[in-house]
Amino acid sequence: MPKFEAGMESMLDMFVFETGDLLEKLDETLMRTEQEQTIGEDDINEIFRTMHTIKGSAAMMGLQNMSTLAHAMEDLFYIIRDDPNVKYDKAGLYELLFASSDSLKGELDNLSDDDIPLTDFTELEGKIHAFAAQMKGESAPAQDAQAGSGEQEDLSHLFPDDEDESILTYKVTYQESCAMPSARGFVLLRGLGQMAEVTSTVPADLDADEADDEIKANGLIIKLITDDPQKVLEFLEDGINVEKAQQLHKPDKTAAPQQTTPQQEAPTPQQAEKAVEQAKEAAPGTKQAPKKAAPKHEQSLITVNLEKLDQLLDLVAEIVITQGSVTSSPDLKDLGVDLDRFNKSARELKKLTDELQDSVMSIRMVPVSTAFQKMNRVVRDMNQKLKKGVTLEFEGEDTEVDKSIVDILNDPLMHITRNAVDHGIETPQERAAAGKTEPPTVTLSAGYDSGEVVISCRDNGAGMDRAKILAKAKKNGLLTKPESEYTDKEVYAFTIAAGFSTNEQITEYSGRGVGMDVVKKNIEKVGGKLLVDSEMGVGSVFTIRIPLSLSIIDVLSVRVGENSLSVPTVSVREVFSCKQEDYILDPDGNEFVMLREMCLPLIRLSRHFGIPSQVEDIQKGILIYCTEGEKGAVLFADSIISDQQIVVKPFSPLLSAFPLKEAGMSGCSILGDGTITIGLDVKEILKATGGEKEK
């Protein structure tokens, strides 16, 4: 049983995305206003609008629970907006608002899983209502919107004399509890589109501000042409929140006017419209006015499916390659005519395609601030509980990285920030005792460094106790050599190893020692690194380094025979040529190269891969010292082509039967000139040696 209105599945992604975005923004506003201690008029209006939008779209999806919760929140701000001087418990208000925002976020996460039932927010709503009541004090009860009722309904206005006989008229009334009948009505109309042609509705414009009130008062009148009136009626009756749906008949003018439907308590739409208009005039600036602004509050941003972007990127890459092959086609050389104008246009074209490539790449870039902002909330919540009063500061939050990296960063950042606040920063008493006067601060910074994104989290807390870490590591059996031989770096690295936590007590936020090693693994999975540094009494720094783009890697391309092979530069330590005296051939036929007191196994790429090559003499080729983990070896190639950036794609699945990966090839890449280079997997190649890094 799906949780939302049938036919809305396609909208789910959009709904989750947009609502998530709105809630994120709401959090930001709340956080800011909480800090500033005042809520400006603009903020109130913005929060009000946000809640209104969430309420509307949730109602559209048929998510009654989210809609009513949003409605309750909206009510709170309705009161504040109405009377900016109203007295209320600020802390209490923010607690409620954050709790509601979290509940909504949680519900969003659960939406796509049909096994999790819709959460019941009644308790939270009760609290909000109680709070609202408290704010209002014993002030006037909710305005009685119901205009004069009890009038006998005159249906004749619904049926103009010249109306076609085939047009049927239906009336749908909604339950009292229905938050946004206009949105519900809109969904109904959409559904009707499949079985009937809707000619008109009353109210005519469901987007209009007063549509909700009008429908509540009079029901929704739908005029349509259909072949199957019964089916239409059933459909209408099945709509969410629909109390009653019925077909209205044109009153017989000659018959008694009493011959109408049982629904007689509501005033005619015209009257209601008039009443609303009067109300508008009488009370400018109440309900209707600010609502009008809501739908127009669109930003100049659009949401694009990442898949489409990838397609676009592929296409652009293809254009760049094709352009290269057109402008440098060998056929042109054979022509033997002057190509001045052609060359000029070709240069122009190249400039344009380069620009095109750059701008497509830049579409995927987003500032890291989106990931940083979320930490504001984490720190705020922890401050509430731990009473540490930590300030969170950002540096370089404008740094732009690939969207996929920001997605990866969210989790690790959360863990590291929590750790910094929980473990890193001392309690105010401890800080006072240590004579620290500066406010406790956690700084998140971002920047680029040699083709990598560097994100670090720095705290000015107690720092790590080397002795304590060592003792703990010993206790957990993590030591592999005598204690005295450990460098500071190695000691601190224990803190991000599996099953390690120096915190005696496990707190709500951290201390189980599972977090950091998972973080480390996740970062390593995408080719990144997690580093720790610390100084007693000064603080600790956790640094995440992730390659700028996950698909583009720096490689050193070398030639072996006819082939171009690319070694990822992360594995390359040194490139050198060697003299005969540094070359060793042992009686077993193993080859070694001496490099500064190290004896390194030599792997000839030509022999390793069985590529025929002319270069056999060790002095004529080029040697590349590579390390991967503990292993190191020297690769021998004919010559260096260049160091460059390539996009390595795995081999075609059609070749899955062959052990290419095991042989040390991670994939292949098409270069700018259309030729193919093979990406090497140094780890696999080094497996063949069994050699140690140092001997």
Partner 1 sequence: MAFTQRDEEFEQNGGKILSFFADNKFYAFLITDVTDIIEIPEITFIPTLPPYISGMMNHRGKAIPVIDFRARMAMPKVDYTDRSCVVVVEIDSHQAGIVVDRVSDVEDITPEMIARSPVEGGTVKFFISESKKRISLLDPERVVRDKG
Contact footprint for partner 1 (CB under 8 A): 314, 317-318, 321, 562-564, 609-611, 649, 651-655, 657-660, 663, 665, 668-670, 674-676, 678
Could you count the other beta carbons within 10 Å of the beta carbon of residue 430?
A: 13
Query: Residue 354 and residue 637: Cα distance in Å, rounded?
Result: 32
Contact 316, 308 (CB under 8 A): no
Q: Which is nearer to partner 1, 368 or 665 (CB)?
A: 665
Q: ∠ at Cα 540 (538, 541), nearest 5°?
A: 130
Q: In a 3-state reduction of DSSP, which class is residue 352?
A: helix
Phi, psi of 151 (to 5 degrees): -70, 145
Q: Which is nearer to partner 1, 279 or 611 (CB)?
A: 611
Query: Residue 308 and residue 245: Cα distance in Å, rounded?
Result: 43
Query: Residue 71 and residue 285: Cα distance in Å, rounded?
Result: 20
- At closest approach, how far in Å is the CB of 652 from partner 1? 5
- At closest approach, how far in Å is the CB of 668 from partner 1? 5
Contact 267, 149 (CB under 8 A): yes
Listed residue (374, 376, 380) closest to 406, CA to CA: 374
| Terminal-to-terminal C-alpha distance of the chain | 66
Q: Which is nearer to partner 1, 318 or 483 (CB)?
A: 318
Strands 598-604, 631-637: pairing kind: parallel
- At closest approach, how far in Å is the CB of 318 from partner 1? 4
Query: Residue 189 and residue 222: Cα distance in Å, rounded?
Result: 8
Q: Which is nearer to partner 1, 33 or 563 (CB)?
A: 563
Query: Residue 424 and residue 510: Cα distance in Å, rounded?
Result: 11
Contact 247, 169 (CB under 8 A): yes
Q: Which is nearer to partner 1, 58 or 660 (CB)?
A: 660
633: left (phi over 0), alpha (psi -120 to 50) or beta: beta
Residue 100 in tokens: 């509601």
Q: Which is nearer to partner 1, 414 or 663 (CB)?
A: 663
Q: State the amino acid at position 429 in one-letter form.
A: Q
- Dihedral sign, Cα of residue 577, residue 579, residue 584, residue 589: positive
Angle between helices 269-282 and 211-218 (to 10 degrees): 140
Q: Which residues pair with 683 in a beta bridge?
A: none
Query: Residue 302 and residue 320: Cα distance in Å, rounded?
Result: 27
Q: What is the dihedral of CA 109, 112, 114, 115, to 10 degrees?
A: -40
Q: Which is nearer to partner 1, 45 or 323 (CB)?
A: 323
Q: Which is nearer to partner 1, 137 or 653 (CB)?
A: 653
